[in-house]
Amino acid sequence: MKIGSKTPQASVEFDGWEKIYEVELSSPSNSITISGLQGDTDEQYMLYGTIESIGVTGVVGLTINGDSGDNYSYQILFGTDSTISASRATTSSMACCVLLSDGYFGFFNVLIYAKSGYIRTCLISSTRDVNETAITRIDLSGRNWNNTSDEITSMNISAVGAGNFAIGSTISLYRRISQ
């Protein structure tokens, strides 16, 4: 299923946000790293992803500054088919979305408060296993990175488990700008 793409020829700004990173995969990959960030200066990020799986059987995870310890906690509300559920835990990454079927898509939007000295609160909305006829699950979660002292300088989006992100998968990162 082709979802299409458009690449602007100039800086993209909307509603106080400026695009600072964008990638569309030209070859399969199980990880995308965004470096050179200045979380204390930027203060807030918005991360968008459209991921197609090639054998991905698990979480599309976000880690900050290479921190893969159990330093991410969450409360999630999700709907699968006609069932609504909730859960909470501490994990080694922030789940942006989950892909369980080869060739299916997941979409996610992550809003991150990035300034050090504060709780690094994130709001994540996502879909899971999207194909031509169905969306298997939707998620809305509040998450945080339990490190309040280090400046955010990098983010890694990876397939936690088996598989890769397919050609055409995209990641975009925006930073909040003053109006």
Question: Would you kindly state where each structural domain of the chain is located, as residue ranges?
Answer: 19-176
pLDDT in tens, 62-117: 999 999 999 999 999 999 888 999 999 999 999 998 887 778 888 999 999 999 99
CA separation for the pair 88, 178 (Å, rounded)? 34
| CATH fold for the domain made of 19-176 | Jelly Rolls (2.60.120)
Specify the amino acid at residue 78. Answer: F
Q: Write down the pTM of the prediction.
A: 0.88
Q: How much is the average pLDDT of 15-20?
A: 90
CA separation for the pair 146, 67 (Å, rounded)? 10
